[in-house]
Chains A and B, each alone.
Chain A
Amino acid sequence: MDVSIREKKQSEQIVTLIVSGEVDAFTAPQLREKLMPLCQKMREVHLNLSQVDYMDSTALGVLIGAYKQLRSRKGRLVLTGMTPRLKRLFRITGLTEVIDIEEDGA
């Protein structure tokens, strides 16, 4: 029951975070700490979620916060590697309509 986050800089303005494990109320603060500073300085933040086994509403809240931060600076949050489970979670909460989701290989 842990989360690990790996950072991969794509260019001066684009960064990818590869998240793996379980993101819940206990581990979401780790994601927030890593994600928010990047959302304050990068133009694009990509989150690869293909290795996320579990995500709850606290984790979704962190993503919404990141999305709002980037959007307010005309930046972009992109999610990749969405498992069927995560897609379902995003559909139910209405986030599919809001946050950019890229299919694999796109």
Chain B
Amino acid sequence: MDQTKDIVLTIPAEAQYVGVVRLTVSGIANRLGFHYDDIEDIKLAVAEACTNAVDHAYKELECQGRVMVTFRIFGDRLEIRVKDEGNSFDIETVKKKSGPIESHLPFTTMRERGLGLHLMETLMDHVDIQVGKGVVVTLTKFIQRDEVDRDVNPPAKTESHG
């Protein structure tokens, strides 16, 4: 893969900068031809990964950390890698606590956290989490080519060539 075409963004690990990543990914996904709903999904998933890094990675550490976001563009998909160099975590424990709200359980046991990973997994086509020195979350979304819409309005397309 030609890494020179990667788009790289580094932000301070603070909640106020996650919005910058959101704007950036929205611009990139728009340019790649993703649909509005997909762009919104990608924005949210990427923001969740960044928020996790901001919240957990540098807690209890002396240094003010950074979060590195790499956007890699393929012909059929967009891959976003969110990397921090802070505290790692036990991915299995986190996964066990993740998932949607279960309405049959007593309301007092409802979790106020843990929806982020569930959202990432639902909104993206693929989510990979590597835990080592820090955490690397790789999110992938495929571009849906719009065959259906093209079939719906064929006359408009042919007329426009006149």
Using a CB–CB cutoff of 8 Å, the interface residues on chain A facing chain B are 1, 22, 24-26, 54, 56-58, 60-62, 64-65, 67-68, 71-72, 85, 89, 92-95, 97-98
Give A68 to B109 CA distance when docked, in angstroms.
9
Whether B55 and A25, one on each chain, are in contact in the complex, defined by CB atoms closer than 8 angstroms, is: yes
**A26 partner residues in chain B, CB cutoff 8 A:** 15-16, 18-19
B107's nearest neighbour on chain A, judged by CB, is: A71
A62's nearest neighbour on chain B, judged by CB, is: B112
Closest beta carbon of chain A to B17's beta carbon, Å = 8
Closest beta carbon of chain A to B50's beta carbon, Å = 9
Whether A85 and B40, one on each chain, are in contact in the complex, defined by CB atoms closer than 8 angstroms, is: yes
Q: Does B101 contact A (CB under 8 A)?
A: yes
A60's nearest neighbour on chain B, judged by CB, is: B115
Closest beta carbon of chain A to B94's beta carbon, Å = 13
Q: Does B102 contact A (CB under 8 A)?
A: yes
- Picked from B19, B51, B107, B110, the residue with its CB within 8 Å of the CB of A57 is B51
Sorted nearest first, the 6 A-B pairs with minimum C-beta distance are A94-B100, A97-B103, A94-B101, A26-B15, A61-B112, A1-B19
10 further A-B contacts with Cβ under 8 Å, apart from A72-B108, A93-B115, are A26-B15, A54-B43, A61-B112, A92-B118, A93-B100, A93-B101, A94-B101, A97-B101, A97-B103, A98-B110
Interface residues of B in 76-113 (CB under 8 A from A): 100-103, 107-108, 110-113
Whether B111 and A64, one on each chain, are in contact in the complex, defined by CB atoms closer than 8 angstroms, is: yes
Whether B112 and A65, one on each chain, are in contact in the complex, defined by CB atoms closer than 8 angstroms, is: yes
Whether B101 and A25, one on each chain, are in contact in the complex, defined by CB atoms closer than 8 angstroms, is: no
Whether A56 and B112, one on each chain, are in contact in the complex, defined by CB atoms closer than 8 angstroms, is: no
A24-B15, A24-B47, A25-B55 are known contacts. Are A93 and B110 too (CB-CB below 8 A)?
no
**B123 partner residues in chain A, CB cutoff 8 A:** 92
- Picked from A22, A62, A67, the residue with its CB within 8 Å of the CB of B107 is A67
Give A85 to B40 CA distance when docked, in angstroms.
8
Whether A57 and B48, one on each chain, are in contact in the complex, defined by CB atoms closer than 8 angstroms, is: yes
Give A48 to B102 CA distance when docked, in angstroms.
24
